[in-house]
Amino acid sequence: MLGRPGEYAELPYLFTDQYDLGMEYVGHAPSCDRVVFRGNVAGREFLSFWLDGDSRVLAGMNVNVWDVVDDVKGLIRSGNPVDVDRLVDPQWPLADLTTN
C-alpha cells in the first residue's frame, strides 16, 4: 500500500445477524469440490466448510456457533488436507485437525 512492497495476508471475513441467525464466514472459495456440514443443520447450529479436491479447507461459515473463527482460519491457513470424517464430527476439536 502507498508504494511499499508487501502482501495483504488477511483472509476475507464477513458476519451478519439476521433475526435469530448469527453467521460468520471466513476464507474464499470461488469454486470448490464439495461442501460439508458439522453440527445440527436442521436446528440451525452448524458449521459448513468448502473443500477442494484434496480435502483442504478453502472457506468456512459458522451459523449460531460461536468462538470458532480462529480455528477455522487455522484450517484454511494450514493448507493441509483434513480428515473429513473428523471435520464433520463435533466430538473432534477443530484446532486438532490442523496437525496432519
For 8-55, write each residue's pLDDT tens digit: 778 999 999 999 999 999 999 999 899 999 999 999 999 999 999 999
pLDDT at 88: 98
Q: Is 70 exceeded by the pLDDT of residue 57? A: yes
Compute the mean pLDDT over every residue in the chain, rounded to the nearest whole number: 93
Walk me through the domains of the chain, giving residue ranges and CATH numbers.
13-98 (3.30.390.30)
Provide the pLDDT for residue 4. Answer: 77
Q: For residue 37, what are the β-bridge partners? A: 48
Do the beta carbons of residue 57 and residue 82 sit within 8 Å?
Answer: yes
**17: β partners:** 22
Between 98 and 23, the more confident residue is 23
Question: What's residue 49's pLDDT?
Answer: 98
